[in-house]
Amino acid sequence: MKNIAIIPARGGSKRLPQKNIKLLDGIPLLSFSILFAKANSNIIDEIYVSTDDEDIKKVALQSGAKVIDRPKNISGDLEPTVSALKHVLQNIDSEVENVILLQATNPIRPQNLLKETFELYQKENCNSLFTVSRNHKKFGKIIDQKFIPDNYKIGQRSQDIEPLYFENGLLYITKASLILEDIIISEDAFPFEIDHIFANVDIDTQEDFDYAKYLYHKHIKS
């Protein structure tokens, strides 16, 4: 039974055209996730990219991944990620136990992230695991032109707010059997907390890309 990495990377991005292969320091965003998977070959047996785009397919193959051509009917803006993962599993011959989902739009990850998460995933006998980070912001709603605090009281210090967490998208590990049931994060999924600046990177706009570029040069390149 194998562990495989799947990187969904469709074309047709509207807010940042061809974002999945946009160059960051001369490297396509997609390639960062492929290189991360290759650096963890002691855990990941095969790397697959699911795409409907010929340019993305070319980059994926050049970077050393296998490609599964994604049909147009599961490549739309509103199509859930699990559709691409399920399609990959249904179109490969390998007997897969675990799927590591890596998103091309989260290109920068701590070096030991997969090692740490996979060890915990196995130790706890998890069905799925995903990375989360703590939120330190004060949220509220605007109702009738009035700001209504949601997770705090006016005047309360940020450090005293009850902890809330967000799904940062850096990494997901899931049983292949669950994905075939259209599930990535199970009800008993283990939330792996990570306090790292890279957890704030999720590229969807030019501003997101510029921020990722800044962090890359500050924390990786230097």
The per-residue pLDDT for 96 is: 98
- Which residue type, as a one-letter code, is found at position 130? F
Q: What CATH architecture is 2-135+167-221?
A: Alpha-Beta Complex (3.90)
SS3 104: coil
Give CA angle at 169 (134, 176), nearest 5°: 125
SS3 92: coil
Cβ atoms of 45 and 5 closer than 8 Å: no
Residue 172 CA to residue 169 CA, distance in Å, equals: 7
H/E stretch holding 214 reads helix 206-215
Domain ranges of the chain: 2-135+167-221
The per-residue pLDDT for 159 is: 83
The per-residue pLDDT for 204 is: 95
Ranges of the chain whose pLDDT falls below 50: none
The per-residue pLDDT for 157 is: 87
The per-residue pLDDT for 158 is: 82
H/E stretch holding 170 reads strand 164-175
